[in-house]
């Protein structure tokens, strides 16, 4: 039960910090730029700089570091796998360890740690985006960014709407799953023991009601939207119009400067 | 099988910015064959409290003892406790999942590892207990039933575990008056015929006044009043101040009293109120 509650990906932490007040478009674009630079740049020094950037932004946004690291939990396995695979498969440098057919080279260790760091930075930076931007603002920003694409047939509004609804229902469905799980536990269900097949089967009493309720909710939502005469994209006005402020200009300037330094440092290494 | 709750405190999301104290130093004793009503506004902690009673939620502080077994103890066998403490959640029909009513009601007993014969016996008995005709119903899909019937099938699913204590969280929510009355009547008869301990959670004073022998009123995670319905409803002012109010008949008695009529301060049923009022007119206008 507590497993479901610990999901932090996509979670929003309400607040009124500088980072919270930035325009969602700015945050989206800068996050995207961060990811691109993260993949282009090489070298531990540059990555240390990125880590400092993430920590500074988290600090400015009043996001506790623990909360940020909790988002990494579901990825522990992937990160560990990356490290182990690189330890044993990447060749080069001096041989550190030899165990039968297994060999660990120094290049492998460096590469493994480097890629693990990349994953950690990737996840923490993107969680910062969702932690400081409400889902509504996020999809609103995305819609505006995609709007020019409408001319070439990208259904920007529909995509944004679908995303809004999906995000909106993640906590609802988690809560629902939690409730159904408890109800079945109260009837003596066992979700934890047994082999893979038995465990998969034991999920049926959870999944069937969950699907039924998801469909019911979808149906009700569609009806409620229709009852209020909802009709997609064109000519819709908004209550809150997104506007860039001087804050956004500063954020862009500071970020670009930091990215430039990171690229330079990466080159030198 | 008594339930004892000692200094129970529970905090949701401990250590996160979303920390909420849902239960605050709850002390409670539920004796054998009691019909306990728990009332409180939405968010007063009643649902959280009852989930502690069969170990679905672990207390942050304090203890919960069911028949002497401490549920907060790590080594406690919760499956045994969950079999003897049946818990019916809000909208229990949302947990139905099998193709036939039989299979769904049989889910609990099967988890107990009972032989097929016994399972069949229990399914039929449980369906009869909730007033459904087992012979014609067992092969139908639970999803083609009406809302009230679905709910009864779901309750039968818990009864088939043959618990000694039955806890229900708002079992009448969203039902029409007839469906509501049927469920309440069945609870009373379960309590009397099977001498089961019943704990009923509700925010409807009317409902609770009709069936419960003892009441606890919750507000903001605390028990603020407890006693017999008569005692609890006497303090109408207090109940109103936390947004609950008293049943209409009790309110009528209080209004009459305020105008100087000599009637008892609380009536729990319409029949009782009628008696009191007829008594007045027998005494003539002198009752005033």
Q: Which of residues 197-226 of A touch B (CB under 8 A)?
A: 204-205, 208-209, 212-213
Residue B265 phi/psi, 5-degree rounding, is: -65, -25
Instruction: Check CB contact of B165 with chain A, cutoff 8 Å.
Output: no
User: Which residues are within 8 A (CB) of A8 and not within 5 positions of it... i.e. 6 or more apart?
Assistant: A67, A70, A71, A127
How confident is the model over A145-178, as pLDDT tens digits? 988 888 888 888 888 888 888 888 888 888 899 8
pTM of the entire predicted model: 0.74
Mean pLDDT along residues A36-52: 90
Q: Give me the percent of chain A exceeding a pLDDT of 70.
A: 95
Q: How far is A119 from chain B (nearest CA, A)?
A: 24
pLDDT confidence tier of residue A232, bands split at 50, 70 and 90? confident
Helices (H), chain B: 46-52, 78-84, 101-111, 116-129, 134-137, 147-159, 177-193, 205-211, 229-234, 236-241, 248-258, 270-282
Encoded tokens for B237? 């002012």
ipTM of the complex: 0.82
Instruction: Give the distance from CA B76 to its chain's centroid.
Output: 25
pLDDT band at A254 (very low <50, low <70, confident <90, very high): very high
* pLDDT value at A241 more than 80: yes
Chains A–B, number of C-beta pairs less than 8 Å apart:
61
Mutation target to probe the B interface, by most B beta carbons within 10 A, among A11, A188, A190 is: A188
Residue A7: predicted pLDDT: 56
Where is pLDDT greater, at A127 or B14? Answer: A127
DSSP B98: S
**Token pair belonging to B23:** 């239960």
A2 pLDDT higher than 50? no
Alpha helix ranges (H) inside B160-247: 177-193, 205-211, 229-234, 236-241
B-chain residue closest to A216, CA distance? B94
Higher pLDDT, B77 or A120: A120
Q: How far is CA A128 from the centre of its chain?
A: 8
Q: Render pLDDT for B107-154 as a digit per residue (tens, 0 to 9).
A: 999 988 899 999 999 999 999 989 898 889 889 999 999 888 999 999
Residues 59-88 of A with CB under 8 A from B: 64, 67
Q: CB-based contact (8 Å) between B51 and chain A?
A: yes
A217 vs A8 pLDDT, higher one: A217
CB contact under 8 A, A204 and B96: no
| d(C-alpha B180, C-alpha B183), whole Å | 5
pLDDT for A1 equals 40
Return the residue matching tokens 């009782």: B272
B158–chain A nearest CA distance, Å: 6
CB contact A185 to B (< 8 Å) = yes
**Cβ of A189 and B111 within 8 Å?**
yes
- Average pLDDT on A13-23 reads 89
Mutation target to probe the A interface, by most A beta carbons within 10 A, among B10, B50, B95, B112 is B95
DSSP letters of B155-169?
Answer: HHHHHTT--SEEEEE
Contact B47, B28 (CB under 8 A): no
> Which of B54, B111, B158 has its CB closest to that of A190?
B111
A165 by DSSP, 3-state: which?
helix
| Distance, CA of B200 to CA of B158 (rounded, Å) | 15
Dist CA A118 CA A115 (whole Å):
5
Q: Which residues of B touch A1 (CB under 8 A)?
A: 56
Q: Which two tokens stand for residue A91?
A: 């060749």
Question: What is the per-residue pLDDT across A75-103, written as a single tens digit (0 to 9) for each?
Answer: 888 899 988 888 888 877 777 777 777 78
Cβ <8 Å between A205 and B95: yes
């Amino acid at each position: 039960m507590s497993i479901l509650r610990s999901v932090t990906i996509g979670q929003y932490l309400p607040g009124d910090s500088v980072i919270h007040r930035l325009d969602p478009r700015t945050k989206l674009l800068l996050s995207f730029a961060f990811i691109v630079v993260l993949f282009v740049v090489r070298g531990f020094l540059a990555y240390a700089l990125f880590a400092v950037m993430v920590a500074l932004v988290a600090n400015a946004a009043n996001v506790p570091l623990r909360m940020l690291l909790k988002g990494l939990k579901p990825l522990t396995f992937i990160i560990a796998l990356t490290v182990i695979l690189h330890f044993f498969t990447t060749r080069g440098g001096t041989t550190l360890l030899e165990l039968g057919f297994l060999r660990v080279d120094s290049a492998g260790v460096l590469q493994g740690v480097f890629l693990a760091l990349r994953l950690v930075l990737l996840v923490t930076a993107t969680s910062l985006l969702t932690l400081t931007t409400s889902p509504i603002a996020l999809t609103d920003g995305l819609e505006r960014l995609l709007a020019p694409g409408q001319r070439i047939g990208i259904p920007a509004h529909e995509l944004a709407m679908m995303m809004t609804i999906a995000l909106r229902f993640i906590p609802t469905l988690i809560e629902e799953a939690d409730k159904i799980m408890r109800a079945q536990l109260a009837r003596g269900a066992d979700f934890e023991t047994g082999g893979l097949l038995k465990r998969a089967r034991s999920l049926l009493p959870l999944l069937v009601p969950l699907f039924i309720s998801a469909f019911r909710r979808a149906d009700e939502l569609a009806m409620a939207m229709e009852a209020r005469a909802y009709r997609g994209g064109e000519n819709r006005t908004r209550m809150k119009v997104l506007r860039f402020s001087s804050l956004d200009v500063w954020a862009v300037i500071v970020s670009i400067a930091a990215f430039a330094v990171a690229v330079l440092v990466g080159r030198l290494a | 099988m008594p339930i004892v709750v000692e200094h129970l405190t529970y905090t949701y999301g401990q250590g996160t910015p979303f920390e909420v104290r849902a239960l605050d130093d709850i002390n409670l004793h539920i004796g054998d064959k009691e019909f306990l009503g728990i009332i409180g506004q939405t968010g007063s902690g009643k649902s959280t409290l009852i989930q502690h009673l069969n170990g679905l939620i672990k207390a942050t502080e304090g203890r919960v003892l069911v028949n002497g077994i401490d549920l907060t103890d790590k080594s406690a066998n919760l499956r045994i406790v969950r079999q003897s403490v049946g818990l019916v959640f809000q909208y229990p029909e949302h947990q139905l999942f099998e193709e036939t009513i039989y299979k769904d009601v049989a889910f609990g007993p099967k988890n107990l590892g009972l032989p097929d014969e016994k399972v069949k016996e229990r399914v039929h008995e449980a369906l009869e207990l909730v007033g459904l005709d087992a012979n014609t119903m067992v092969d139908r899909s639970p999803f083609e039933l009406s809302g009230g019937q679905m709910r009864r099938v779901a309750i039968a699913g818990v009864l088939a575990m043959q618990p000694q204590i039955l806890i229900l969280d708002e079992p009448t929510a969203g039902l029409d008056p007839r469906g509501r009355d049927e469920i309440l009547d069945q609870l009373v008869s379960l309590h009397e015929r099977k001498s089961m301990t019943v704990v009923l959670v509700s925010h409807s004073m009317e409902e609770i006044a009709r069936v419960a022998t003892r009441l606890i009123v919750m507000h903001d995670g605390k028990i603020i009043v407890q006693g017999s319905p008569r005692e609890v409803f006497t303090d109408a002012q207090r109940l109103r101040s936390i947004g609950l109010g008293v049943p209409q008949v009790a309110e009528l008695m209080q209004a009459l009293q305020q105008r100087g009529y000599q009637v008892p301060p609380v009536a729990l049923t319409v029949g009782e109120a009628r008696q009191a009022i007829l008594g007045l007119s027998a005494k003539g206008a002198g009752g005033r």
